[in-house]
Chain A
Amino acid sequence: EAEVAQSPRYKITEKSQAVAFWCDPISGHATLYWYRQILGQGPELLVQFQDESVVDDSQLPKDRFSAERLKGVDSTLKIQPAELGDSAMYLCASSLGAGTQYFGPGTRLLVL
């Protein structure tokens, strides 16, 4: 069964350092999402790609966060510099259109 892959699964970093997360969606899924989920809350959309184009990044803190999906397949989310408040689970999901989303295992980030 096809799955969304993410790496790393866990990341511990110090504030002001740079971190990067990678996501490989299910093959053929044109839509890719990056979410941030704080404990006890629902996933918050950071950025949504349709193929290689960003279609929604309204909640992405652009002063420190960046995301790319250069060839319309895998994607990287970067934080520079990391802040204490960035500690959260970062989830990647993909879908054929705008319907059912399939989530990867997530990356748990701890900023010290």
Chain B
Amino acid sequence: QKEVEQNSGPLSVPEGAIASLNCTYSDRGSQSFFWYRQYSGKSPELIMFIYSNGDKEDGRFTAQLNKASQYVSLLIRDSQPSDSATYLCAVLGTGGFKTIFGAGTRLFVKA
């Protein structure tokens, strides 16, 4: 079992729809959870982070965390073609020392 798992996709949604990206992790003691966006050929950039169970909203983005289920998700509302990218889930594990990245989910937003 991989430490951080994501569906590789591609996930294809029409413009204006909600895109739902999911991530599961194996380290039950994980403390912090990050979503990065990576455009093709570019480096990752932080979208948002979440520490506590529940939802965290930032503009069109909502991160959801369920530590009991070891599950974190990212919702993108009103998806735009410019949201087409790979979304990386990153988990800071027990001890707050090492961050593990998932392989990423490719998202395509069709105009």
Interface residues of A (CB under 8 A from B): 35, 40-45, 48, 55-56, 89, 91, 97-106, 108
Contact = CB atoms under 8 A, between A and B. Distances in A.
Contact of B99 (A91, A101, A102, A103): A101
Interface in B12-71: 32, 34, 41-46, 49
Given A42-B88, A43-B44, A105-B43, A100 B102 contact: no
Contact of A103 (B32, B44, B49, B92): B44
Residue among A91, A98, A106 with the highest chain B CB neighbour number at 10 A: A98
Interface of B: 4, 8, 32, 34, 41-46, 49, 88, 90, 92, 96-104
B103 A103 contact: no
A48 B100 CA distance: 12
Nearest to A101: B99
A44 B90 CA distance: 11
A87 to B, nearest CB: 14
Nearest to A103: B43
A40 B34 CA distance: 19
B98 A48 contact: yes
Contacts of B96: 97-98
Contacts of B100: 45
Contacts of B92: 98-99
A17 B99 CA distance: 31
Contacts of B45: 103
Closest 8 CB pairs of A and B: A42-B101, A103-B43, A42-B103, A106-B43, A43-B101, A98-B96, A103-B44, A42-B102
B35 to A, nearest CB: 11
Contact of B43 (A42, A44, A91, A100): A91
A98 B43 contact: no
